[in-house]
Amino acid sequence: MLLESLRKEVLRANQEIARRGLAPHTFGNASGIHRSGSQVLVVIKPSGVDYATLTAVDMVVTDLDSKIVDGRLRPSSDLETHTLLYREFPEIGGIAHTHSEFATAWAQACRPIPCLGTTHADYFHGPVPVTEPLTAEEVAEGYVRNTGAVIIRRFRSECLDPIAVPGVLVAGHAAFAWGRTAAEAVENADVLEYIARLAYRSIVLEASESGIPVYVSEHHYLRKHGPTATYGQR
Amino acid sequence: MLLESLRKEVLRANQEIARRGLAPHTFGNASGIHRSGSQVLVVIKPSGVDYATLTAVDMVVTDLDSKIVDGRLRPSSDLETHTLLYREFPEIGGIAHTHSEFATAWAQACRPIPCLGTTHADYFHGPVPVTEPLTAEEVAEGYVRNTGAVIIRRFRSECLDPIAVPGVLVAGHAAFAWGRTAAEAVENADVLEYIARLAYRSIVLEASESGIPVYVSEHHYLRKHGPTATYGQR
Amino acid sequence: MLLESLRKEVLRANQEIARRGLAPHTFGNASGIHRSGSQVLVVIKPSGVDYATLTAVDMVVTDLDSKIVDGRLRPSSDLETHTLLYREFPEIGGIAHTHSEFATAWAQACRPIPCLGTTHADYFHGPVPVTEPLTAEEVAEGYVRNTGAVIIRRFRSECLDPIAVPGVLVAGHAAFAWGRTAAEAVENADVLEYIARLAYRSIVLEASESGIPVYVSEHHYLRKHGPTATYGQR
Amino acid sequence: MLLESLRKEVLRANQEIARRGLAPHTFGNASGIHRSGSQVLVVIKPSGVDYATLTAVDMVVTDLDSKIVDGRLRPSSDLETHTLLYREFPEIGGIAHTHSEFATAWAQACRPIPCLGTTHADYFHGPVPVTEPLTAEEVAEGYVRNTGAVIIRRFRSECLDPIAVPGVLVAGHAAFAWGRTAAEAVENADVLEYIARLAYRSIVLEASESGIPVYVSEHHYLRKHGPTATYGQR
């Protein structure tokens, strides 16, 4: 029953990626994880299937080692990136991978997105990080798993909290975002695209890349997150 | 009864912000004020509620000191900026706050929008001003109220008339626009976004930032405003 | 009867301007002219009326001196530009004035649009010209009529044929396009916007402003126009 | 019967060009070829007909020398480019010609599109090539056929495989894409536009034009193509 509901949630998250235009063609995928109970299960979109024809039963169920537990179709080719992130970030419950226009442009330019305004500060604590490129050895050894590995390496080297920084750019590739649920992951992917768009326009207008003062970004981040949050109806 | 009608007007203004794409997610809000009679009342959108599910009764009613008079929900976190603007600009009857793409880019670049053409001159008398950044002390003391304070400071230091200049960019944040009603405020926010878009494209094409001659901008502004207006069906 | 049909055609042309997004708000207008017979009559959109509520009877009928012959509403404030163009360009039967995004950006940058490709060459013979700015005297003496005058001056000084060059940019203002009918004028305004968009993108990619060789642009222009045309079903 | 089905497929491909916004107005066309059996037949869109009114019987049937075999209308003016590509690239079954915004901008800038990310590498093996401009002699001798000739010359001089590089930019003109069927040609034209858009944004953000390492692009290309493909449900 729980799995059935997660399958539907992951289906909706994938449909939402398409509806918001975050991944033309079959670029992009979303997954969710069921962590409580005796078994940890990941639900992910099948590989290369048109968003328009996806149904809940098409979703593929795997364990944290990417071994298929249930499903008639092959899982997304990005599965091993998802499972590695779930293993390393126990706080997260959903992941969205997109090739959205502006986030991908920053990723292709191998540049982190500086925090240039409060729209960014409300969702991301500090710049949106970008990974290093994979080495030839990493590609040969396991391209997809090592895509996850370079993300983890960036978060460790900068001591980043995946809840405070709910997304990343993979150099020369595109974006991954996550959240407490698959739906929140897609929302963060959508916000990331808007932040990337605003920053692109601002850089064209010669905005300073040093960004807004830390005392402003801290204020905004804490306004929406943490024990003293004043935003919304909580 | 009057309040009921203002609630509906403010609801429609908020929905219009969403319909025109001026504020993705729950960024952005509109308010209106009822000034005649014994009591001055402000009606504003509740905080962080999805535009799609808003109803007239969700609107929050406050006085000019931001004290809640009626409503079940928490008001927009930007309330104190709105009430300060209403206190300082007695001519205005509605305010719209957006994070629209191009206006926000100019705000993030901390640049006023020069008057580069007649589309701009028809609506804004001179450049669209940008505030100074808030100081660390202003953020600590009262971020939202002081956002209003830096707007007022900019208008005073340049002797600007809020009816002739119906909007402003807050540095590192986004845009506020206003008008005689909440509906007019949203229309001005929409025009501000289009002006910002045209100016962005023009700057990329290396337009001179000195803009159009003052004798042209004056002609256009007076064509639509003031006692000798010749535009429209009045 | 003829007038009735022209009113409907001009209404449709104005609605088409709105539908194609060529003029946000009430920026923009289209007109048509009836030249055969004893009386020459111009039909134009009323001033500042929302496109959504326009009907055929709202269209205003004037003579070539901009004197109103029929209609309850005030004509577009740009009327005198239209009538001057009709007087000077006897070949044309319709005019469309827009503030479309990219054409307006080129106008605000006071730059002609170079012919950078065959999309342009199929519709415009040579660059899209830009006028000089109006002088202070011209604005004071008659802004709208002199907007027409600077257009005519540009066409005369460069010996341009208004059928081969069916549009112009007015410096610091926006675009006018025309054609044998009001419908063709709007189509040319739409193509002008697309040409302006393509040229903007190309310039960002550092295209040479010298454009395509004349032997290519001539070939393309003649392919669609003149006695040896091979395009379409004629 | 076979021809009937090809006519419908080519109609759908042309409608898809319009639906995806790849060719405003009547710019653009798609064709398909029937190669098996005794007769080789090409089916192509008629010239200058509005996409909205096209029907299957409007499609024009020709042989590989561009001689009309069946159809009431004149074929697309680009027919001879299509037939030359079909003669030289026996592997392909469909061709789509578009004037889509970003691909056309790269063509107008006469620049190949460098491979800046995995979105590109999944579909195009190496940069998207751009032709040389046609000489005055080539235009005079046969503009449309020689448009095909400069494409072939580029592919030969760089030893490119038309299946691995399913499209090209014609300098100062626009894009041609192809595939095993007319539908696949349109899909490749759509992906080419997205690649062109991503590369444009990346170049504005000062991405290095050397692009992603070859070991990454090879990995991605082979992931979707060739005997060891791991993408999709095959």
Angle formed by the axes of helices D136-157 and C214-224, to 10°?
110
Q: Is A232 on the interface with B (CB under 8 A)?
A: yes
Q: Which of C205, C215, C219 has the CB atom closest to D200's CB atom?
A: C205
- Asked if the Cβ–Cβ distance from C117 to D139 is below 8 Å, we say no
Q: Which of C105, C172, C204 has the CB atom closest to B216's CB atom?
A: C172
How far is residue B130's CA from residue B115's CA, in Å, rounded to a whole number?
A: 13
State pTM to two decimals. Answer: 0.96
Q: Give the pLDDT score at C134.
A: 96
Tokens representing A100? 């959205």
Helix, strand, coil % in chain B, rounded to nearest 5: 45, 15, 40
Q: Is B80 on the interface with C (CB under 8 A)?
A: no
Interval C182-186 mean pLDDT: 98
How far is residue C79's CA from residue C44's CA, in Å, rounded to a whole number?
A: 7
Tokens representing D127? 């940069």
User: What single DSSP character describes residue D227?
Assistant: T
Three-state secondary-structure class, residue A18? helix
Q: Give the pLDDT score at B38.
A: 76
- Asked if the Cβ–Cβ distance from A198 to B105 is below 8 Å, we say yes
Tokens representing A142? 């396991």
Partners for A (CB, 8 Å, 3+ pairs)? Answer: B, D
Domain extents for chain C? 4-225
Distance from CA of B220 to the nearest CA of C (A): 9
Q: Is D105 on the interface with C (CB under 8 A)?
A: yes
Strand partners of residue A130: A169
How far is residue C215's CA from residue D134's CA, in Å, rounded to a whole number?
A: 10
Three-state secondary-structure class, residue D60? strand
pLDDT over 70 for what percent of chain A? 97
Q: Give the pLDDT score at B176.
A: 98
Long-range pairs for B137-141 at CB < 8 Å and ≥24 separation?
A: B139/A215, B139/A216, B139/A219, B140/A215
Phi, psi of D179 (to 5 degrees): -170, -170
Taking residue C215's Cβ as centre, other Cβ atoms within 10 Å add up to 16
Q: Give the pLDDT score at A168.
A: 98
Q: Give the CA radius of gyration of chain D.
A: 17
Best mutation target among B74, B108, B201, B205 (most A Cβ atoms within 10 Å) is: B108
Q: Which of A24, A111, A173 has the CB atom closest to D205's CB atom?
A: A111
Distance from CA of C208 to the nearest CA of D (A): 7
Distance from CA of B195 to the nearest CA of C (A): 10
Please tell me which residue, C210 or C232, carries the higher pLDDT value.
Answer: C210
Query: How do residues B46-102 score in pLDDT, each as one tens digit?
Result: 998 888 889 999 999 999 999 999 999 999 999 999 999 999 999 999 999 999 999
Q: Which of C58, C122, C143, C194 is catalytic?
A: C122
User: What single DSSP character describes residue B172?
Assistant: T
Q: Is the ipTM of this complex over 0.90?
A: yes
Lookup result for tokens 């996409």: D51
pLDDT band at residue D189 under the 50/70/90 scheme? very high
Phi, psi of C94 (to 5 degrees): -155, 150
Question: Which residues in chain C are contacts of B231 at CB distance < 8 A?
Answer: 47-48, 77
pLDDT band at residue C1 under the 50/70/90 scheme? low
**Contact (Cβ atoms closer than 8 angstroms) between residue B204 and residue B105:** no
pLDDT band at residue B25 under the 50/70/90 scheme? confident
pLDDT band at residue A2 under the 50/70/90 scheme? confident
In terms of Cβ atoms closer than 10 Å to its own Cβ (0-12, 13-18, 19+), residue A206 is: exposed
User: What single DSSP character describes residue B110?
Assistant: T
pLDDT over 90 for what percent of chain C? 85
The set of residues, in sequence order, having a beta carbon less than 8 Å from that of C137 and lying 6+ positions away, is: none
Question: Which residues in chain A are contacts of B104 at CB distance < 8 A?
Answer: 117, 119, 198, 201
Mean pLDDT of chain D: 94
Q: Is A97 on the interface with D (CB under 8 A)?
A: no
Look at residue C227 and tell me whether its pLDDT is greater than 80. Answer: no
Q: Is C141 on the interface with B (CB under 8 A)?
A: no
Q: Give the pLDDT score at A49.
A: 86
In terms of Cβ atoms closer than 10 Å to its own Cβ (0-12, 13-18, 19+), residue D227 is: exposed
Q: Which of A46, A77, A136 has the CB atom closest to D223's CB atom?
A: A77
- Asked if the Cβ–Cβ distance from D204 to A73 is below 8 Å, we say no
Look at residue B1 and tell me whether its pLDDT is greater than 70. Answer: no
Is residue D63 part of the annotated active site? The answer reads no
Interval A120-144 mean pLDDT: 96
CA pseudo-torsion sign C188, C190, C196, C199:
negative
**Contact (Cβ atoms closer than 8 angstroms) between residue D91 and residue D156:** no
Fold for the domain defined by A4-225: L-fuculose-1-phosphate Aldolase (3.40.225)
How far is residue C222's CA from residue C7's CA, in Å, rounded to a whole number?
A: 33
Nearest to residue B100, comparing CAs of B193, B194, B197? Answer: B193
CA pseudo-torsion sign C215, C217, C222, C223:
positive
**Contact (Cβ atoms closer than 8 angstroms) between residue D77 and residue C223:** yes
Nearest to residue C158, comparing CAs of C197, C123, C189, C130? Answer: C130
Interval C95-106 mean pLDDT: 98
Query: How do residues D121-133 score in pLDDT, each as one tens digit?
Result: 999 999 999 999 9
Q: Which residue of C has its CA nearest to B232?
A: C48
How far is residue D82's CA from residue D30's CA, in Å, rounded to a whole number?
A: 9
**Contact (Cβ atoms closer than 8 angstroms) between residue C118 and residue D174:** yes
Q: Is D24 on the interface with C (CB under 8 A)?
A: yes
Q: Calculate the CA B93 to chain-centre distance.
A: 11
Distance from CA of C194 to the nearest CA of B (A): 14
Look at residue C171 and tell me whether its pLDDT is greater than 60. Answer: yes
Lookup result for tokens 């090809």: D6
pLDDT band at residue C191 under the 50/70/90 scheme? very high
Look at residue A227 and tell me whether its pLDDT is greater than 90. Answer: no
- Asked if the Cβ–Cβ distance from B215 to C108 is below 8 Å, we say no
Distance from CA of D129 to the nearest CA of C (A): 16
Interval A191-202 mean pLDDT: 98
- Asked if the Cβ–Cβ distance from D25 to C230 is below 8 Å, we say no
Q: Which residue of B has its CA nearest to C197?
A: B201
Q: Give the pLDDT score at B26.
A: 76
Q: Which of A118, A190, A233 has the CB atom closest to B47's CB atom?
A: A233
**Contact (Cβ atoms closer than 8 angstroms) between residue B179 and residue B94:** yes
Taking residue A118's Cβ as centre, other Cβ atoms within 10 Å add up to 26
pLDDT band at residue B190 under the 50/70/90 scheme? very high
Q: Give the pLDDT score at C24.
A: 83
Q: Which of C73, C107, C111 has the CB atom closest to B117's CB atom?
A: C107
Mean pLDDT of chain C: 94
**Contact (Cβ atoms closer than 8 angstroms) between residue C22 and residue C98:** yes
Taking residue A214's Cβ as centre, other Cβ atoms within 10 Å add up to 12
User: What single DSSP character describes residue B150?
Assistant: H
Phi, psi of B176 (to 5 degrees): -120, 135
In terms of Cβ atoms closer than 10 Å to its own Cβ (0-12, 13-18, 19+), residue D113 is: buried
Residues 184 through 223 of chain B touching chain C, CB cutoff 8 Å = 187, 190-191, 194, 197-199, 201-202, 204-208, 211-213, 215-216, 219, 223
- Asked if the Cβ–Cβ distance from A201 to B49 is below 8 Å, we say no
Interval D73-80 mean pLDDT: 96
CA pseudo-torsion sign B14, B20, B23, B26:
positive
Query: How do residues A65-77 score in pLDDT, each as one tens digit?
Result: 999 999 999 999 9
Look at residue B178 and tell me whether its pLDDT is greater than 60. Answer: yes
Question: Which residues in chain D are contacts of A106 at CB distance < 8 A?
Answer: 205
CA triple A81-A83-A89, angle to 5 deg? 100
How far is residue A212's CA from residue B174's CA, in Å, rounded to a whole number?
A: 12
Tokens representing C192? 């002008």
Question: Which residues in chain A are contacts of B141 at CB distance < 8 A?
Answer: none
CA distance between the termini of chain A: 30
Look at residue A230 and tell me whether its pLDDT is greater than 90. Answer: no
Residues constituting chain D:
234
In terms of Cβ atoms closer than 10 Å to its own Cβ (0-12, 13-18, 19+), residue D20 is: middle
Q: Give the pLDDT score at D46.
A: 95
- Asked if the Cβ–Cβ distance from B215 to C136 is below 8 Å, we say yes
Q: Which residues of A belong to the active site?
A: 122, 231
Mean pLDDT of chain B: 94
Q: Give the pLDDT score at B77.
A: 93
pLDDT over 90 for what percent of chain D? 85
Is residue C58 part of the annotated active site? The answer reads no
How far is residue C22's CA from residue D80's CA, in Å, rounded to a whole number?
A: 35
Q: Which of C204, C230, C232 has the CB atom closest to D204's CB atom?
A: C204
CA triple D72-D75-D81, angle to 5 deg? 160
The lowest-confidence range among A51-55, A188-192, A212-216, C226-230 is C226-230
- Asked if the Cβ–Cβ distance from C139 to B215 is below 8 Å, we say yes
Tokens representing C102? 């990219």
